[in-house]
Amino acid sequence: MRSIVLDLETTGLFVKDGHRITEVGIVELWNNKPTGKTLHYHINPERDVPPEITELTSLTEKFLSDKPKFNQVAQEIRDFIGNDTIVITCRQHDDYTLDIAFLNAELDESAVDRPIPPKQWLNVRPWSEKMFGHEGAKLDNVLDHYGVDRNERINQGHSALLDVLLLAKVYPQLLADYQKFQYYQNPPSGKKGPSL
């Protein structure tokens, strides 16, 4: 069973403020295990990159200036995703989820065939929030919980490709733990099971 893990870096939080994608990282999974197949692009956002974003991601306007524009790689990204589940870990602001909003906006702007339907997205951030609390749901804390080395992330900063590679490592265990968590919260007998 194929799925993909996806992460984006952007110039800011909200599409409505004119922010754009600066990096796309995608890892292919088969039966929830990485296959080694990835797709990665740095993207020219065709706008300035705020200093706080450069500090977070190390991506500068100059570095991105000769990278492809999103519409030049949009179809390849869409084709790589296909019709399979897209696993993300992303904070939600009411009904707004950053990765979903940005990718859909960029694909729409690029007039790519086959828009991504809502049912194709799987945001695992709410799983982490339910199991570990709001602070515990941050990717760094989830990685620490599962004993995954994140020194490269500490040294390098935010990177879409690095983040999906790390999330892909913890996803199988996160999925298993969330299934157990749901079972104990809602056991078949209707009686509350033991806490984890």
Closest CA to 5 of 88, 116, 92: 88
Rounded CA separation 2/141 (Å): 27
DSSP 8-state secondary structure symbol assigned to residue 90: -
Selected catalytic residue, list 40, 42, 93, 158: 158
Closest CA to 26 of 52, 8, 5, 11: 5
Please list the helix, strand and coil fractions of the chain in percent, rounded to the nearest 5, in that order. Answer: 45, 20, 30
The yes-or-no answer on residue 158 being catalytic is yes
Residue 131, amino acid: M
Instruction: Sort 105 into a burial class: Cβ within 10 Å, 0-12 / 13-18 / 19+.
Output: middle
Active site residues: 158
